[in-house]
Amino acid sequence: MAGFEKVVGHPAVITHLNNSIQSGRVAHCYLFVGEDGIGKRMVATEFAKKLLCETPDGPSARPCGTCPACVAVDRGSHPDLKYIRHEKPATIGVDDVREQLNGDIVIRPYRADRKIYIIDEAELLNVQAQNAILKTIEEPPSYAVILLLSNNRDVFLETIRSRSVLVEFQPLRREDVARYIEAYFPPSDDREFALDHCRGNIGRALHLMEDENAREFVTTVCGILAKLPKLSVIERMDAVSELSQDREDVKEAMELFLAWYRDVAVLKATGDARQLQFGSQNIKKIEAAAQAYSFAALGRIFEKVRETKELLLANVNPESAFENLLLECGVAG
Ligand SMILES: [Zn+2]
């Protein structure tokens, strides 16, 4: 049995997509939004498989997993399922969209009665490329289904958003990530570490399993976060230089800051450790922080984290962006 059963977690998303198939109301354009690594591509591919399957199994319309269509989807060779590729690494440009989507979608499907286009990392679509997509989704052929997968919904034109069905991916429960990770890796300290620090994201858990440097970096950042309220200004400046060594690290550090203070605020407000994204290895530290910081201080920190993310996007030197943030994080009252 292959199909949504093998997709880990995301029950709300899967119910929603199943219902759209069963009620015959599949939309022409979906916007799948959620963190990188959360499972958007896996769900998109299974959804496509379900739409293309030649012998869907009973009233739940599961893909059978064995018909030529299902096999072709698994092999990446179904002619009616296309993944849009892009020439430039950091942009999906108008030529990519014109050639692979607009020019192709007018040709009827070869085998199925639908034709499906998946655009991963759709946050990379520039404005011209989005306008080119818009042309197609304003008057789509009846058989067309376009899946835009993105870590950020704010990058899309309002005209795209209003013509798409928004599907939001939430962080997974720890047990869902664990089920997946435990199927591939034997018990170890690294496995516990990955589960405790992946914040509901399978992609991140895998990355933490496979990359010792990533584990070290997360340990460093969490160590700094735990100590921050007690650090002197000089110690905070040392932390700034430790955290801002390269731009990719800075991005990851910002996500950790956001997740950490989210957990601190949640614990302070609810007292319920089950709602935390960080696992048991950090709970004591988060409890201490929840006691140390006032709600007003947490509010100012969230504001500062947002501001810092914007500064980094605007290519401000990471060191000065971080300096600003860490000064604020030192003020607990
Ligand atoms: Zn099938």
> Confidence class of residue 1 from pLDDT cuts 50, 70 and 90?
very low
> Taking Cα atoms as reference points, which of 230, 231, 222 lies closest to residue 286?
222
CA–CA distance from 36 to each of 22, 32, 243 (Å)? 29, 11, 21
What is the whole-number distance in angstroms between the Cα of residue 69 and the centre of ligand 1? 6
pTM, two decimal places? 0.84
What is the whole-number distance in angstroms between the Cα of residue 114 and the centre of ligand 1? 14
Dump pLDDT digits (tens) for 129-151.
999 999 999 999 999 999 999 99
Strand ranges across the sheet with 81-83: 81-83, 115-119, 144-150, 29-33, 165-168
What is the whole-number distance in angstroms between the Cα of residue 83 and the centre of ligand 1? 19
Any residues with CB less than 8 A from the CB of 10 and at least 6 apart, and which?
39, 43, 169, 170, 172
What is the whole-number distance in angstroms between the Cα of residue 64 and the centre of ligand 1? 4
Dump pLDDT digits (tens) for 172-182.
988 889 998 99
- Average pLDDT of the chain is 90
Alpha helix ranges (H) inside the chain: 11-22, 40-52, 68-75, 94-97, 103-105, 127-138, 158-162, 174-184, 189-197, 202-210, 212-227, 233-243, 247-270, 283-292, 295-313, 318-329
Residue type present at position 148:
L
CATH class of the region 4-168: alpha beta
